[in-house]
Structure 1
Amino acid sequence: MYKRLRLGKLFRDHVFVILGWLIWIALQLSGHKFGDGDSLGTLAAGSALTFCIMLGCVFSVVRSADELAELLDEPYGTLVLTLSATAIEVSLMLMVMAGGGQNPAMLRDTIFATLMVVLNGMVGVSLVSGGWINVEQSFNLRGALSFLHLIAPLSLLLLVLPNYTSSTDGPTLDPVQEAFLGLLCLLMYGVFLLIQTGRHRSYFANLSAVLDEEPEDNGNGNAAPALHRRRGAILHGAMNLLAALLPVVLLAEHLGSVIDFAIERSHTPAALGGLVVAALVLLPEGVGAQRAAALNLMQRAVNICLGSALATIGLTVPTIVVAASLQGHALTLGLDGAQETLLYATLLVSVMTFVSGSANVLQGLVHLMLFVAYLFFVFVP
């Protein structure tokens, strides 16, 4: 009876992961890929099913990352979640590029969508939710500004500077400039990780957190078994995370072909592809940030939100730049005037919000206002 209950709980917790693996195996065995040969109904149903299954797997990734976060001290817990989401984002974009490469603005649109979704959508919902329940919340000012110190200049270098370079025509960069910016993003993100997990780790810890000391062995032999159990739990959580992450990455090929096909054949705005990728990747993280803010863990919410934006710039950009160079794809990077204005407004409001060191409902509503404006201008450019 106990074994049946355990199997039932295991299936409930990992039903989307199991379905994800089964769907991927079925697609591989059949050799089917969504595209020109499918009717509109088949394409819509197949893509919707794939998207929902992938979304369920992403939520399983978040659940496994949350379990690891309870075993690991900050900022390692949120860092695991951030890197997992970045792996999903990179795999989706690579599959879209491999499917035809007819959308040279995919990298730009995804980065811009990620910044809008994170800095306005996720931050706004978290601030409103946390402020509504807890009135006002505090977070580590130095930690939040550490994120913004990199997000602001790197996003401007990637999304605005290409409009004003003279080496190429249009909002593009030549290969040397792309390589320079990709290497710069990777280098600065690596330096940030060393600071976040080393010298200034306290900047990213909850203000009310108390650092736990290693268990001392008082002679009764309890410390070693406790440490062994903790390591076993971490290993088990990491295996669950990998099992949930892999079907998302593998199914990205099929969803990527749908996104690429829709961009080529439909009359929908090109920026919608970047928004779809960002939404799939960031929705579970947004739920995690909102939940943390509601529980008065505002620093964890800040780490999730700003860490997601910075990881997209620091890891996704170098990977896609290298892949585009190897495949001979040109990248359109510069934003147009309306998008530039939204980016400037977002960075300005973000600095004003996080420099205060406290959060309330009004600040969240301002961020949500900018997010709604972004969505409106995606469909009504």
Structure 2
Amino acid sequence: MSGSGLRLAVAWGSVAAFAVFGSGWLASLDSPLWAAFLFAWLFSVIMWAAFGVVHEAEELAHMLGEPLGTLILTLSIVLIEVALVSAVMLSPKSVPTLGRDTMFAVLMIVLNGIVGLGLLIGGLRHHQQSYNLQGTSAFLSVIIPLATIALIIPNFTTSTTGGTLSTLQAVAFSVFTVALYGVFLMIQTGRHSSFFIHDGGQMVRSNADVPADTGTQDKGSVKGLTVLKHIVLLVANILPIVLLSKSLAAILDYGIEALGAPTALGGVLIAAIVFTPEGISALKAIARNELQRAINLCLGAATSTIGLTVPAVLAVGLISGQTVVLGLAPTEMTLLIVTLILSTLTFSGLRTTVLEGAVHLIVFFVYLVLIFSP
């Protein structure tokens, strides 16, 4: 059996096992060893399936080219994130701050942790690395207002208190967020797709410019079947993660409460589970001196996270009647503002060095300390 086949067999076998025996297993979480075993099992399977998602998305990226390939990967990963967050929110023990904590954790992990480590590795290995400034500017021009609307403005509205939004604000902000993200996708995949490719803006000729012949048509058919196969495998790797997310959410809820851990740790764990494979993919790209692909992955993940998670979290809150807290605490708001300013400065030139990586990493380490010692 191939590695991909084994991964799918284990993932779907776990889905079947929890579908049949899960309710009984989750009723025995008062045993620390049993709870740790179930968490390790689900964590390993979900992480392995997430690597499968990354693998299939990278195969599609090679066949479809950039930026479409990277976009498929980021959307797949964010879909997993939304599933995990929604599962925890709909669990018996509601966590009103989970969506906020997860989005903030993603921004800190991606924009400071992965970007910082990546630029440090790239600077040490390649001294300086270049990228397409237009694409990076487009990412940041969307990330900054979306992050501000979602995580800062709720602290200063007067219709409600405690970092929450009124029903009108929740609906309106969701529509605005989706609309802006939709416009960005049109730019990224349409007439300005060259912004996200570091090749001087030169685009490969489309198939319409190439004379059609039988050989070309045959190759096109084979490529179409290959693309379809990888899309099916991509979905087959995503579904077990979505189906197992509810069981993992129950264990996370119990573990955080039993250990007396900070509630923000739940968001950090979800972000780590979801974005570790994509982060490794970005670091590998930087090591190969493919900074543009890494930027597309990192900034694309940040953009997709806010653009899709905010409407999903608010929709779950409105439908289930749960309170959703989006506004960050003052310390976290400060870190977010510093991160956004720092990202703008880091990607304001045409090349990056070790210094930018070191600064981003320091901010990330400060974030980690503040989780356990706010």
User: What is the TM-score when the length of structure 1 is the normalising length?
Assistant: 0.94
Superposition misfits of 4+ residues, deviation over 6 angstroms:
none
Q: 1:343 to 1:214 in 2, by over 3 A?
A: closer
Is the deviation greater in 132-141 or in 206-215?
Answer: 206-215
Give the SS at the match of 1:325: helix
Task: For residues 283-302 of structure 1, give each alpha carbon's deviation from its aligned partner in whole angstroms, at most 9, with x where no partner exists.
Answer: 11101111111111111110
Is the deviation greater in 275-284 or in 260-269?
Answer: 260-269
Task: For residues 195-240 of structure 1, give each alpha carbon's deviation from its aligned partner in whole angstroms, at most 9, with x where no partner exists.
Answer: 1111211101122685333463475x31111111111111111111
- In structure 2, the partner of 1:353 is 346
Residue correspondence of structure 1 range 164-243 to structure 2 within 5 A:
164-207=156-199, 211-214=203-206, 216-217=210-211, 221-243=214-236
Q: 1:317 to 1:95 in 2, by over 3 A?
A: same
- In structure 1, the partner of 2:16 is 25
- Alignment root-mean-square deviation, CA: 1.6
Quick one: distance in 1 between partners of 2:93 and 2:139?
A: 32
Q: Does 1:274 align with 2:271?
A: no
Gaps of 5+ in 1: 1-7
* 1:17 and 1:56 in contact (8 A); partners too: no
Q: Does 1:317 align with 2:296?
A: no
Quick one: distance in 2 between partners of 1:291 and 1:31?
A: 37
- In structure 2, the partner of 1:121 is 113
Q: Match for 1:327: what amino acid?
A: S
Q: Does 1:336 align with 2:336?
A: no
Give the SS at the match of 1:37: coil
- In structure 2, the partner of 1:5 is none
* 2:195 and 2:201 in contact (8 A); partners too: no
Task: For residues 231-272 of structure 1, give each alpha carbon's deviation from its aligned partner in whole angstroms, at most 9, with x where no partner exists.
Answer: 111111111111111111111111111122234443101110
* 1:103 and 1:263 in contact (8 A); partners too: no
Quick one: distance in 1 between partners of 2:286 and 2:372?
A: 30
Residue correspondence of structure 1 range 246-325 to structure 2 within 5 A:
246-325=239-318
Q: Match for 1:162: what amino acid?
A: P
Quick one: distance in 1 between partners of 2:312 and 2:328?
A: 20
Q: Match for 1:198: what amino acid?
A: G
Task: For residues 67-114 of structure 1, give each alpha carbon's deviation from its aligned partner in whole angstroms, at most 9, with x where no partner exists.
Answer: 000001211010010010011001101110111242100011011101
- Please, which of 120, 123, 127 is the counterpart of residue 135 of structure 1? 127
- In structure 1, the partner of 2:92 is 100
Q: Match for 1:274: what amino acid?
A: G
Give the SS at the match of 1:32: helix
Quick one: distance in 1 between partners of 2:144 and 2:5?
A: 38
Q: Does 1:16 align with 2:34?
A: no
Q: Match for 1:224: what amino acid?
A: Q
Would you say how many aligned residue pairs link Structure 1 and Structure 2? 371
Gaps of 5+ in 2: none
Q: Equivalent pairs: percent with the same residue?
A: 39
Is the deviation greater in 310-319 or in 129-138?
Answer: 129-138
Quick one: distance in 2 between partners of 1:300 and 1:258?
A: 35
Is the deviation greater in 354-363 or in 78-87?
Answer: 354-363
* 1:34 and 1:254 in contact (8 A); partners too: no
Give the SS at the match of 1:199: coil
